[in-house]
Amino acid sequence: MTKDSKNLFSEKVFLFPTETVYGIGASIFDQLAIRRIYAIKGRDFSKALAAHISSISSVELLCDATPDLFYILAEHFFPGPLSIILPNVSRTVPKLVTAGMDTIAIRFPDSKIFSELADRVGTPLAGTSANISGDGAPTSFSQVNPYIIEQVDEAIDGGECKYKLESTVLSIVEKPKILRVGAIKVEAIEEVLNQKL
């Protein structure tokens, strides 16, 4: 991130579409903006956020010693509706993002609008679904709680999300394990891994 872009997007929170659900996010290195995400959603700090990237190479900013398996999965499913939880999170990532854990969820949305936003911000975004905690995740701009739209600095209307279903979550911290079934079928991941999950 350049000094100019850092100042331009400092403390700013964005509402954006992805192919799954609408998200709310900010530069992953901006602790004040990340605190705002938790406040807007009424989210408990014990619940981590996901790192939303716009290029596979940017994972190197977020993790030390990224497992080879990540790149195999990324080749098949990124960009797309899969969140991959990795170990060895970098010390440069605020503990607010990871809830103090040594793991981080990586998401590469298949959304031109999101990619353009991430390119403008100049860093990966820390983000989560654009809903008040406990409510359902919005799959169109019209479903986003008006309070959230009022609270963010920029709200991007991208119409309806393609899948209208949250991403599948896969942990590869130890052996591969599905933590949430979503838009990508388990069978598709099993085929790539050549093993049952």
Residue 10: per-residue pLDDT: 77
Cis peptide bond N-terminal to 79, omega within 30:
yes
In one-letter notation, the amino acid at residue 50 is A
In this predicted structure, the answer to whether residue 195 has a pLDDT above a threshold of 70 is: yes
Digit-coded pLDDT (tens) for 5-20: 455 667 999 999 999 9
| Tokens found for residue 27 | 């530069």
Mind giving me the DSSP string for the chain?
--HHHHHHHTT--EEE--SSS-EEEEETT-HHHHHHHHHHHT--TTSPPEEE-SSGGGGGGTBSS--HHHHHHHHHH-SEEEEEEESSB-TTS-HHHHTT-S-EEEEE---HHHHHHHHHHTS-EEEEESS-TTSPPPSBGGGS-HHHHHHSSEE----B-SS-SPPEEEE-SSS-EEEE--SS-HHHHHHHHTS--
> For the chain, what are the domain ranges?
3-193
Quickly tell me which residue has 């850092």 as its tokens.
6
pLDDT given for residue 9 in this prediction: 64
What CATH topology corresponds to 3-193?
DHBP synthase (3.90.870)
- The 10s digit of each residue's pLDDT in 56-115 is 999 999 999 999 999 999 999 999 999 999 999 999 999 999 999 999 999 999 999 999
